[in-house]
Chain A
Amino acid sequence: MRFARRFFSRPTALIGFALFAAIALVALLAPVIFARGPFSIVGMPLLPPGAPGLLAGSDVLGRDMAVGLAYGARISLLVGIASTLFAVGIGVLLGAVAGYYGGLVDDLLMRVTEFFQIIPSFVLLMVLVAFLQPSLGSTVIGIALVTWPQVARVVRGEFLSLRNREFVQAARTLGESDARIIFTQILPNALPPIVVVSSMMVGSAILTESALSFLGLGDPNLLSWGSMIGGARSAMWVAWWTTVLPGLSIMVTVLALNFIGDGLNDALNPRRRG
C-alpha cells in the first residue's frame, strides 16, 4: 500500500498509468470494438477524420484509420512487453552470474556490454531482422538481443553490492546452492532497479519497433503504427491525419510508459529521489 501511495503521489505517474490503462484496454478489446479487421477497405481513400462512420478518417487504401490505430496498439504493446521480458530474462541471468561470481566471467560480460554500447545497435538490429526475415518474432528477438546488456549492467551492479551481505553469507553457511542463493536470496532484493529499467525499456522498444516498421522491416502481415506512417509517406502532403495520428499514438504511449517508469523509480528507490 505504501508503494501505491508513493507511486500515485506523483501526478505524472497517475496520468501515465491512466493513459496506459486506456491504451491497453483499446488494444485488448480491438476485435470487440470494431467488427472489421484493420486491413478491410471501408470507403474512399483519404477521407478526413469525422467523415460519416470514420472517427479518424481513412488511409491511402480507404481503410478505417481508427481500426488501424487500435490494432497498431496491440502490436506496439506486444512487441514492447515481449521484447523487454526476453531481454530481462537474458540480462538477469548473465548479470546475476557476472555479479555473483565476479572475476573472469564478470570481466568478459562487461566487455560484451561495452561492445554493445559502442556498436550502432539500430544498424545491427536492421541486419538481424532483415537476415532473419521480418516478422513479429524476429522483431522481438532482435530488439531483445540488442537491449539485454542494459539489464545485465544493472543486475550485475546490484549483485556485486549484495553478494557479501550478511543474509547471503548466512545462506551460504547453511549450505544453500549458488543457484538457490542467486534466485531466492539476492534476486528478490535486486528487483526494484530491474523493474525500473524494464519499464523504461518497454517504451524504447516501442519506439524501435515503430522505426523498424517505418523502414519496411516490420511483419508484412500486420498493421503497426510504424508501418501506417511508412505507408502514408506519399499521402502526408494532402492528408495530414494519415501520419499525424499514428505518430501521436506512439508518442502518447511512450510518454505514458516513461511517466510510469519515473513513478516506479520514485516509489521503489526513495534514496535516489531528486
Chain B
Amino acid sequence: MNRLQFIAMRLVKTALVTVAVVVLSFFLIRLAPGDAATVMAGQSGYADEAFMKNLRAEYGLDQPLPVQLAKYLGAVAHGDLGTSYVRRQPVLAVILERLPNTLLLDAFALVVAIAGGVWLGGIAARKPGSWGDAAVTVLAMLFYAVPQFWLGMMAVLVFAVWLAWLPPFGIETMGADFTGMARLGDIAQHMILPGMTLALYFLASYARLTRTAMLEVADADFVKTARAKGISERQVARRHILRNALIPLVTYAGLQASILVGGSVLVENVFSWPGIGTLAYDAVTARDNPLLLGIFIITAILVSLFNLLTDIAYSIADPRVELGR
C-alpha cells in the first residue's frame, strides 16, 4: 500500500468514526427522560394532548426510528446540531464561538507537555537508575494519582492567592481593555496556570514514554554504527537516538487527545476559562441537552481529525512504517 492509499483509507475511517459518533448521539438523546416536545411544552407552561401531538409532528418525533435517524444524520451533516434551550441560539454557533479559547489552551498544554516531557525523559534515559531518572518516575506516579481539577485549585491557592504571581481565573483582565501586544501578554499570563495544570499529567507520561523509547533505540544497530563512526556521544543522543525515539510520541499524542479534551473540560472549570469546557458545565447545570450533546459531537470529530493528522505525520516521519490496516 502506498502513502496515498493509506491516507485515503484513514480518511474513510475518520468519516466512519464521525458517522458513528452522530448515530451514538441519536441514541443518547433517547436516554434522557422525555423528548424535545415535553421540554418545549414545559417551557411554554402549556400542554394538552393536541398541543403535544402537534409539536411531535412538527419535529418529526412521531415518525419511525430509522426515518428520524436519517433526518438527524442529514441535519448534523448540514451543521444543524439543534438549538440551545437556554441561549436560544444554534448549538453550533455557540460552540464555535468558544472553541478558539479551548484550542488555544489545549495547544499550549500539548506543546508544554511534549517539550517538557521529551526533555525530562531524555535526562532520565541518559543515566537509567540515576537521581533524575527516579525523580521522573516519582513525578509520574504522583501525577497519575492526583485529580487534575484539584491540582489546578492547589495551583491557584499557591501561585495566585499566597504568592500572588499570576491571575487566578479568566482569560484576560476584566475591564482592562488592553489592545495589541499588551492584550496578548495579558492572555498569556492568564494561560500559564490552567495550561500548566493541564500539561503536567501529559508531561509525566511523555517523559516516561521518551525514556522507554530512547532506551530501546539506544541499542539499535544504527546507533552502534553512529558510535563506531566516532560521532560524539552528544550528537548520537540528539541526532540518532532522540529523533527516532520521537516517532512513537506522535502516535501517542493522537491517542492522548481524547484524554486531553476531558482534562481541559475540568481545568477550564477550575480557572473559569471561557472555552467549551465551561460551556459544557453550563449546559449540565441548565439541563441544556442539545448543547451538551453538540459539545460531545464536535469534540469527538475534532479528536478524530487530530488522530488523522498524527497518523499522516507518522507515515511521513517513519519510512519503515508498515502502511497496512
Residues of A within 8 A of B (CB): 115, 117-124, 126-128, 130-133, 203, 207, 210-211, 214-217, 226, 229, 233, 236-237, 240, 243-244, 247, 250-251, 254-255, 258
Contact = CB atoms under 8 A, between A and B. Distances in A.
A118 B262 CA distance: 12
B153 A247 contact: yes
Contact of B262 (A121, A210, A214): A121
B145 A251 contact: yes
Given A120-B299, A131-B28, A207 B147 contact: yes
A224 to B, nearest CB: 12
A120 B142 CA distance: 23
A122 B262 contact: yes
Nearest to B144: A258
A246 to B, nearest CB: 8
Interface centre among A130, A210, A240 (most CB of B within 10 A): A130
A237 B156 CA distance: 9
A230 to B, nearest CB: 9
A141 to B, nearest CB: 10
B21 A211 contact: no
Given A130-B284, A131-B32, A215-B284, A120 B296 contact: yes
A217 B284 contact: yes
A70 B148 CA distance: 22
Contacts of B148: 211
Interface core residue of A133, A244, A251, A258 (most chain B CB under 10 Å):
A251
Contacts of A127: 28, 292-293, 296
A120 B258 contact: yes
B239 to A, nearest CB: 28
A250 B150 contact: yes
Contacts of A211: 147-149, 266
B255 interface: yes
Given A118-B304, A126-B292, A250 B258 contact: no
Given A121-B258, A236-B156, 15 more contacts: A117-B258, A120-B261, A120-B262, A120-B303, A123-B295, A130-B287, A130-B292, A132-B32, A214-B149, A214-B266, A226-B147, A229-B149, A237-B157, A237-B161, A243-B154
Contacts of A207: 145, 147
Contacts of A236: 153, 156-157, 161
Interface residues of B, number: 46
6 contacts: A118-B307, A120-B262, A215-B284, A247-B154, A251-B142, A254-B146
A118 B255 CA distance: 7
B142 A255 contact: yes
A133 B33 contact: yes
Contact of A118 (B258, B266, B289): B258
B259 to A, nearest CB: 8
Nearest to A12: B141
B36 to A, nearest CB: 13
B265 A203 contact: no
B145 A123 contact: no
Interface majority SS (helix, strand, loop, mixed), chain A:
helix
A251 B157 contact: no
B210 interface: no
B43 interface: no
Contacts of A123: 261-262, 265, 280, 295-296, 299-300
Given A115-B17, A251-B145, A251-B147, A126 B153 contact: no
Of the candidates A126, A133, A250, the one having the most CB atoms from chain B within 10 angstroms of its own CB is A126
Nearest to A230: B149
Interface string B172-210: 000000000000000000000000000000000000000
Centre residue among B146, B147, B300 by max chain A CB count within 10 A: B147
Interface string B128-144: 00000000000001101
Nearest to B162: A240
Nearest to B254: A118
B285 interface: yes
A131 B33 CA distance: 7
Contacts of A214: 147, 149-150, 266, 269
B91 to A, nearest CB: 13
Interface string B291-324: 0110110011001100100000000000000000
A129 to B, nearest CB: 9
A254 B299 CA distance: 28
A216 B285 contact: yes
CB-CB nearest 5 A-B residue pairs? A122-B262, A247-B150, A120-B261, A254-B145, A131-B32
Nearest to A210: B147
Contacts of A258: 141, 144-145
A240 B150 CA distance: 12
A113 B56 CA distance: 36
B108 interface: no
Contacts of B284: 126, 130, 215-217
